[in-house]
Amino acid sequence: MKILVPVKRVVDYNVKVRVKADQSGVELANIKMSMNPFDEISVEEAIKLKEAGVATEIIAVSIGVTQCQETLRTALAMGADRAILVETSAEIQPLAVAKLLKAICEKESPQMVILGKQAIDDDSNQTGQMLAALLNWPQATFASKVTVTAGVAEVMREIDGGMETVEIKLPAIITTDLRLNTPRYATLPNIMKAKKKPMDVMTPEALGVDVTPRLKTLKVVEPPKRKGGVMVADVAALVDKLKNEAKVI
């Protein structure tokens, strides 16, 4: 069974993002970029399924600029078998990503695509759901446990106030939540080995996908600065402020 794992290159989660002066987006020049944390969880889950004898091949896919090769090499160093880069410097929105992934699924025929539940840069939480709709495959989102037996995946998902377990027939789409696993670090020998693993490079045009954006970003602004707090003398003063100044009670 082949598993496809889409991995996105995003601003590292430790970096404090800065908005560009013209408010057209966030600053990416000279910023540390890394694999989207949810995608590390997807790679780890695919590797676990391979170690358990369920999967036979893991293909990591990234869509974006040439430097996405680094993200793919990280996936290969963790344990993916080969990689595909869909190279483009255009702005690629979730629907375009889903269409490109659909084209790759049609070429590769994976039994499972494991995506992150969301990319931490755009926080869209759309690609997995759109891909499932385009392929007409079942989907289980926000997975916190995955068990695969005889063409079926049992997925435990986090929902408001508890856990839900669903069963989906393969081929299927799964998106990963934080509690699914703890991704492994790539060891130095595996980083060296990853350099020799195969990586195909293709373009959206070669896949026959029109990636023209459907949405236009009007402006991006920083969140308002937090105002300083005040100390109150006692509970009565606190209640008085909540009632008369904040007017929340």
Mark the segment that binds ligand AMP (CB under 6 A) among 21-29, 56-64, 76-84, 224-232: 56-64
Q: Does the footprint of ligand AMP cover residue 97 (CB under 6 A)? A: yes
CB of 30 to ligand AMP, least distance (A): 21
How many other CB atoms sit within 10 Å of the CB of residue 221?
7
Q: Is position 76 an interface residue for ligand AMP (rule: CB under 6 A)?
A: no
Which residue in 94, 110, 171, 183 binds ligand AMP (CB under 6 A)? 94
Is the CB of residue 7 less than 8 Å from the CB of residue 43? yes
Rounded distance, CA 9 to CA 14, Å?
14
Tell whether residue 38 is a contact of ligand AMP (CB under 6 A): yes
Q: Of these, 15, 17, 19, 126, which contacts ligand AMP (CB under 6 A)?
A: 126
d(CA 152, CA 95): 27
Task: Look at phi and psi of residue 123 and say left if phi exceeds 0, alpha if psi is from -120 to 50, else beta.
Answer: left
Taking every pair of C-alpha atoms in the chain, what is the biggest distance, in angstroms? 69
Taking the C-alpha atoms of residue 239 and residue 248, their distance in angstroms, rounded to an integer, is 10
| Residue 74 makes contact with ligand AMP by CB under 6 A | no
Q: Does residue number 115 form part of the binding site for ligand AMP (CB under 6 A)?
A: yes
Q: Catalog residues that contact ligand AMP under the rule CB under 6 A.
A: 6-8, 36, 38-39, 61-64, 92, 94, 97, 115-116, 118-119, 122, 124-128
